[in-house]
């Protein structure tokens, strides 16, 4: 919606610059095996000095030449284009080498699911110039084998055509080639394109879409809209362990995407009870944070997943308080005398993840309660996030954690976010969630929340309030 607003009102002023016109044009022909690609990329203006991929791509990319006949080489992760090259197009072939064994544990990768559905990491095959105003946007068209479908995080303009923003080359994205047509749903005006890879035992595709819908409704109810207008959701089967969602991550390359691995025999009921999808969706409440402030990056979704799951009707408010309390206890316990910031620096050590994630969650919980307390419920953390989306959220730029907190402070007209960070994240071992629960009139018997009626200021039920969707 925001983009449409921008187009309508800004167009007369910038008609000569044409910022929303693609200057890069890709044609991708996908072979029957889904592994062999023939790609052409043409530029409206001069070729950029360098085209980038990831550092494994030199193994997959070959036969690179320009339309003037010049033969080019890929060096590790890039093609250097000679300054005197007058061509406008580069052609190259790709032979993907998908993984097909083991389980994924990391960001985007090229992987073949059940011998027929392909996940591709664009870093393996999509050679791109650095993101500058000259190369801000591309269009891409696929020629697919009969009976196969393509999905991407980019804006869909046809069955096999997309327009993408040329985000930083380091930002990952997944493009799928699949035998199953993606399902598209709309939630609060945002489009979710859902691609289910492989086969599941108990959850038909329609139930997967229902899971996505219900999760998105809960997250949308936090701010009144979903933080991104278009989201690609890829669901792949997993045979690892007992966890319902053993692995999930988001990507931001060219647009928003979520990739979830789901236990092959998971039921819809189990999926709705799981926090992973609402958590991943909540990552888009903030833009890309490039300062490795994992306490912010993971802390906000870890807090908000509880609120959105109650809003969407996935769990009760009692269950949600109980999960939040258990999480804080586990995070605090694993701190072992370190501050959250110190734990973040030793993140790879076992256990410190929980201290960092839950420490961040407790910080955002406390800010939410601070704001509600001082305004008697009139102002919440979510209101500040809405303001942030209206003024400052940029889908295609990174921001540092400190700058983000400073922006929130400006919107609030106070130094609350920065000041409390110094105390709770950098000085003390863990945010003092016990006092915060007490101020809300919540005690815990074991993990069970008990609400003190005479102490209640109504804020506890305001925080964990179901919306009551008509389903
Ligand atoms: Zn996360």
Dmax over CA atoms of the chain, in Å, equals: 82
For the chain, percent of residues with pLDDT exceeding 70? 95
Q: H/E/C letters for each residue in 449-464? A: EEECHHHCCCHHHHHC
Strand 89-95 vs strand 36-43: parallel, antiparallel, or unpaired?
antiparallel
Please tell me the distance between residue 215's alpha carbon and the centre of ligand 1 in angstroms.
15
Domain residue spans of the chain: 23-177, 180-280, 286-463
Determine the Cα–Cα distance for residues 68 and 232; give it in Å rounded to an integer: 37
Reported as a pLDDT band with limits 50, 70 and 90, residue 470 is confident
Please tell me the distance between residue 289's alpha carbon and the centre of ligand 1 in angstroms.
12
Task: With a cut of 50, say whether residue 8 has pLDDT above it.
Answer: no
The size of the chain, in residues, is: 471
Please tell me the distance between residue 297's alpha carbon and the centre of ligand 1 in angstroms.
7
Determine the Cα–Cα distance for residues 49 and 82; give it in Å rounded to an integer: 7
State the pLDDT at residue 441. 94
State the pLDDT at residue 14. 36
State the pLDDT at residue 350. 67
Q: Write out pLDDT tens, residues 229-262.
A: 999 999 999 988 889 999 999 999 999 999 999 9
> Which residues lie at CB < 5 A from ion ligand 1?
298
286-463: same fold as 180-280?
A: yes
Task: With a cut of 70, say whether residue 59 has pLDDT above it.
Answer: yes
CATH class of the domain at 180-280: mainly alpha
Lowest-pLDDT choice from 5-14, 247-256, 262-271: 5-14
Strand 398-399 vs strand 288-289: parallel, antiparallel, or unpaired?
parallel
Task: With a cut of 60, say whether residue 284 has pLDDT above it.
Answer: yes
State the pLDDT at residue 1. 37
Please tell me the distance between residue 436's alpha carbon and the centre of ligand 1 in angstroms.
24
Q: Say what the alpha-carbon torsion angle 330, 332, 336, 342 is, to the nearest 10 degrees.
A: 120
Lowest-pLDDT choice from 12-16, 178-182, 410-414, 460-464: 12-16
What is 23-177's CATH topology? Immunoglobulin-like (2.60.40)
Please tell me the distance between residue 247's alpha carbon and the centre of ligand 1 in angstroms.
10
* Residue 229, both tokens: 């207008």
Cβ atoms of residues 399 and 288 within 8 Å: yes
HSE-CB at 306 with a 13 A cutoff on CA atoms is 25
Strand 117-121 vs strand 111-113: parallel, antiparallel, or unpaired?
antiparallel
Cβ atoms of residues 193 and 232 within 8 Å: yes
Reported as a pLDDT band with limits 50, 70 and 90, residue 457 is confident
Determine the Cα–Cα distance for residues 51 and 169; give it in Å rounded to an integer: 10
Reported as a pLDDT band with limits 50, 70 and 90, residue 12 is very low
State the pLDDT at residue 467. 87
State the pLDDT at residue 453. 80
Average pLDDT (157-181) is 95
Please tell me the distance between residue 252's alpha carbon and the centre of ligand 1 in angstroms.
13
Distance of CA 40 to the CA centre of its chain: 29
For the chain, percent of residues with pLDDT exceeding 90? 83
Task: With a cut of 70, say whether residue 455 has pLDDT above it.
Answer: no
State the pLDDT at residue 17. 39
Other Cβ atoms closer than 10 A to 21:
11
Q: What is the mean pLDDT of the chain?
A: 92
Task: With a cut of 60, say whether residue 179 has pLDDT above it.
Answer: yes
Reported as a pLDDT band with limits 50, 70 and 90, residue 4 is very low
Please tell me the distance between residue 300's alpha carbon and the centre of ligand 1 in angstroms.
9
Please tell me the distance between residue 323's alpha carbon and the centre of ligand 1 in angstroms.
16
Reported as a pLDDT band with limits 50, 70 and 90, residue 454 is confident
Please tell me the distance between residue 67's alpha carbon and the centre of ligand 1 in angstroms.
44
286-463 belongs to CATH 1.10.390: yes
Determine the Cα–Cα distance for residues 187 and 210; give it in Å rounded to an integer: 11
pTM equals: 0.93
CA angle 107, 325, 461 (to 5 degrees): 105
Please tell me the distance between residue 283's alpha carbon and the centre of ligand 1 in angstroms.
7
Q: Write out pLDDT tens, residues 106-141.
A: 889 999 999 999 999 999 999 999 988 889 999 999
Lowest-pLDDT choice from 69-83, 149-163, 203-217, 447-461: 447-461
Please tell me the distance between residue 282's alpha carbon and the centre of ligand 1 in angstroms.
8
Reported as a pLDDT band with limits 50, 70 and 90, residue 57 is confident
Task: Tell whether the torsion through CA atoms of 351, 432, 423 and 309 is positive or negative.
Answer: positive
State the pLDDT at residue 388. 98
Burial class from Cβ neighbours inside 10 Å (0-12, 13-18, 19+) for residue 152 reads: buried
> Which residue bears the tokens 């899971």?
211
């Amino acid at each position: 919606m925001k983009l449409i607003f921008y187009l309508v009102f800004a167009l007369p002023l910038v008609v000569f610059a044409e910022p929303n016109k693609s200057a890069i044009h890709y044609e991708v022909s996908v072979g029957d095996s889904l592994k062999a690609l023939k790609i052409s990329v043409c530029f409206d203006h001069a070729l950029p000095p360098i085209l980038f991929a990831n550092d494994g791509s030199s193994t997959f990319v070959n036969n690179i030449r320009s339309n003037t006949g010049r033969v080019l080489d890929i060096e590790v992760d890039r093609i250097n284009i000679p300054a005197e090259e007058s061509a406008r197009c580069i052609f190259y072939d790709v032979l993907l080498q998908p993984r097909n064994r083991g389980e994924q544990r990391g960001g985007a990768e090229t992987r073949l699911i059940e011998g027929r559905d392909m996940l591709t990491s664009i870093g393996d095959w999509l050679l791109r110039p650095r993101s500058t105003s000259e190369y801000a946007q591309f269009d891409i068209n696929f020629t697919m084998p009969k009976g196969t479908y393509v999905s991407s995080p980019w804006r869909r303009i046809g069955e096999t055509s997309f327009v993408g923003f040329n985000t930083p080359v380091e930002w990952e994205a997944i493009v799928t080639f699949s035998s199953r047509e993606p399902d598209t749903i709309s939630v609060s005006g945002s489009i979710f394109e859902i691609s289910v890879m492989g086969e599941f035992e108990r959850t038909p595709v329609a139930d997967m879409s229902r899971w996505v819908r219900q999760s998105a409704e809960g997250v949308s109810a936090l701010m009144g809209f979903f933080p991104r207008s278009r989201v690609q959701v890829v669901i792949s089967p997993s045979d690892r362990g007992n966890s319902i969602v053993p692995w999930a991550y988001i990507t931001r390359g060219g647009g928003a995407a979520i990739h979830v691995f789901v236990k092959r025999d998971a039921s819809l009921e189990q999926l709705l009870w799981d926090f992973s999808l609402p958590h991943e969706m909540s990552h888009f409440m903030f833009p890309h944070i490039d300062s490795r402030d994992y306490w912010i990056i993971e802390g906000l979704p870890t807090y908000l997943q509880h609120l959105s799951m109650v809003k969407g009707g996935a769990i009760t408010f009692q269950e949600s308080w109980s999960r939040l309390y258990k999480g804080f206890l586990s995070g605090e316990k694993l701190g072992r005398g370190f501050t959250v910031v110190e734990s973040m620096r030793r993140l790879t050590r076992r256990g410190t993840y929980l201290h960092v994630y839950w420490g961040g969650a407790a910080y955002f919980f406390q800010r939410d309660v601070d704001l509600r307390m001082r305004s008697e419920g009139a102002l919440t953390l979510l209101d500040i996030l809405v303001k942030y989306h209206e003024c400052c959220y940029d889908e295609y730029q990174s921001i540092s954690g400190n700058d983000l907190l400073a922006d929130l402070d400006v919107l609030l007209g106070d130094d609350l976010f920065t000041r409390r960070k110094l105390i709770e994240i950098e000085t003390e071992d863990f945010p003092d969630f016990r006092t915060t629960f007490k101020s809300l009139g919540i005690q815990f018997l074991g993990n069970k929340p008990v609400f003190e009626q005479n102490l209640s200021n109504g804020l506890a039920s305001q925080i964990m309030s179901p919306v009551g969707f008509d389903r």
